Structure 1
């Protein structure tokens, strides 16, 4: 983080424009992630609610179909059982009808029960005492019972039966010795399914499919005669393994390309029910909410980022202004060097660092020779030019990072050299003195006297000791004739020209 210095010279953190932008972006990302998580939870909730609704619908349909098929199957069993009793063949047709069909189911959607002998010929018809000749030995339900004794209740493929589309329910008639005696047959007309599905409050796109165990379509709504009786193939996602009893599947079905949520229920009957609902209708409300919330979030994101960019720009401008003010506050207006205030802050900082790291720190005190006399003779403007020239010479010699050249006061300058021993500091002082001497030409003759001091400070020692040593060395240089550098020997301050 950038820093700025307070009035006491200490570095204080400054609010960064980049940090503000990064924080704003992180905040936007965080809130967006939370919003996305909430929206996904809402979507899962809508899907779960739709799945439960479809499960309840499928359970209700399955229960109704199972109950009616079970009732009709009881009638078929009763007829098959009564035909095996010897007394039935010895009574009149009227009595036999009463015995066989007295308890037979007779709902309007159920066809009349028929009995076919082992050759497939119609022998008994609940609708007539004298049935017309009829042979069904080539029908699927007949051959299945003839060739497979243990089939039990068999439900045929949808077919045209006795003038109406229906499914045929049949049971085998078995003799006392296990021989095949024929089949007892009944039918459930399509009108039953139309009536059942018509009582339901379905939305456009909803589907209800009644399947046989081999995945043959018995009935489907919306009704399409072209798909009735077809066996569903295994397609991607729609397989026997993925759409087991009580399971669900989301995607495209095998009949059309509309993505739906499919739920399967299987009861005790040989049929099972699959209910489907378009995913578009399931997530319609959620999608509306998602668009509304997304639009609000987008507007908030634009507002936050725009505000952050505006504030970042203002912070940048303020930082630049503060830097300029700090530069003005710490720079000598005439020479361009650091002023006394900046020098005090720097020497305090470098003194503590030298104590921590155990390294030397050097200081040069520089004074223009005979400056007062020169100023009185040539005027203040000429004197100012001399000070500027000396400052340029000092700046040319002091270039390393951490070194600080400052105007100490009047015609006096100070140069702080962190990490510099006495010998190196003395060489730098001589370089500055030589530059000033070479700079003088014509009638302008200006020289400088320099006091140099270097020490390794210890805890408890003050940087004023270094300034005092350098200042005493400066007085010694002036006393020895000026235009020279004097190195102070610390701590006895033994002076060497």
Structure 2
């Protein structure tokens, strides 16, 4: 019995196996790609979080340094103000002595650029640099605020240009009073923005990162590194709309991603407001820098995926060839079985032909044929079993005439017999 499939069945089997193999390879590779993709996605989020934490720590550290500088300047200004009040109470302001005292305090606080003392009208009386130029600062908002408010707290102004040098300064001031408590003038301390540039320049924030300081009006106080574009210049108030919105929504601190106009590239940004002062510290880091390790992971992942895809494709090709070889083997076996069967049938036919072509013993009277088993069979049966011939019964003209003659003779004989009776 032949158990092999017919040709069309084998073709369907082959096509079905090929389809299943292709679908299987696609699904396995899709699963692998999804797994690696999900892993890389989570890894990227992890690096984003690390970058966010890094900028937060950096901004917090810089905010602490910035606030410490102004806190120390506040102490120095308080000391100079106390000296000015002491001199007023004793014999009036001694400009030389007060200048020397202010210079001594500047040496204690190297961050300070200059300390100056004004009278109640805003005229600069003296300072740590022993200047004799006539300068009036009564138009400065911080002077008006100290003059009109008896609160003797430190007032820190936004970024301003010095009236004499024209250089950008961060200015802090305190009020000092007469013995009766009336307003006597202000003690001013200035810090050149170059100091903050120098402070920031020691920080390693990557090739495309940046750190900066802005005042409450978003004017740029310090930036490292500086670009060539106008937005990188000191005093520029050009910031992204997203930054303005984030500061409005989160006045103290926030971390977010935004695209910088300087190079149209995205960065992770954290800003932090100085605790007691109208300044913001910004720390930014670029994905180009902090994603270096992730890109290496992604490259390794892609290479492994390509190798996996190549291996699965090679395995599928091997399986397909093995299946095709098995089908060809089955096909060859089927053809072999068919050939054997045909040979057997051919041999049987040849045997029958030889039997029919040889000497056949036939009875001279009944025409029966003697078989190889020495039995006698009707001619029709013998020929039917030993050839493909089939018989249909009829009568030839001679036999028909003979049968009619015999029929007439029998009929006449029957008639004569009847008449005799």
TM-score, length of structure 1 as denominator length:
0.57
The residue aligned with 2:313 is: 305
Using the alignment, how far apart are the partners of 1:78 and 1:219 within structure 2? 28
1:155 corresponds to: 157
Superposed CA offset, 1:92-151 (max 9, x none): 4455557777656644442221122332211232332x7332222233443454567768
Contact 1:82 1:100 in 2 (8 A): no
- Higher helix fraction: Structure 1 or Structure 2? 2
Which residue does 2:202 correspond to in 1? 199
CA–CA separation in structure 2 for the residues paired with 1:234 and 1:89: 55
Provide the C-alpha distance between the structure 2 equivalents of 1:19 and 1:232, rounded to a whole number of angstroms.
61
- CA distance in structure 1 between the partners assigned to 2:383 and 2:107 by the alignment: 139
Q: 1:158 touches 1:165 (CA, 8 Å); kept in 2?
A: yes
- The match for 2:122 is 120
Structure 1 segment 299-378 matched on structure 2, within 5 A: 299-309=307-317, 311-312=319-320, 314-315=322-323, 318=326, 374=380, 376-378=382-384
Equivalent residue number for residue 64 of structure 1? 65
- The one-character-per-residue Cα deviations of 1:142-195 (angstroms, maximum 9, x if unpaired) are 345456776842233142464354322223446688865433211111331232
CA distance in 2, matches of 1:143, 1:372: 146
Of 270, 274, 281, the match for 2:282 = 274
Separation in structure 1 between the aligned mates of residue 163 and residue 109 of structure 2, nearest angstrom: 17
Kept in 2: contact 1:207–1:222 (CA 8 A) = yes
Aligned residues: 342
Q: Which residue of 2 aligns with 1:25?
A: 26
CA, structure 1 residues 142+91, in 2 after alignment: closer, same or farther (shift >3 Å)?
closer
2:388 pairs with 1:382: yes
1: CA distance, partners of 2:241 / 2:73 = 34
Unaligned runs of 5+ in 2: 6-12, 343-376, 395-421
CA shift, 1:53, in A, is 2.8
Which has the higher mean CA deviation after the structures are superposed, 184-193 or 18-27? 18-27
Superposed counterparts of 1:38-117, under 5 Å: 38-84=39-85, 86-90=88-92, 92-93=94-95, 96=98, 103=105, 106-117=108-119
2:258 aligns with 251
Q: Is the strand fraction higher in 1 or 2? A: 1
Distance 1:266 1:105, change over 3 A: farther
SS at match of 2:136: coil
In the superposition, the TM-score normalised over structure 2's length comes to 0.66
Deviations 1:207-266 (A, max 9, x none): 111112332211111236943112244514662246654421223135552321112233
RMSD over aligned Cα atoms: 4.2
Q: Which has the higher contact order (CA 8 A, sep 6+)?
A: 2
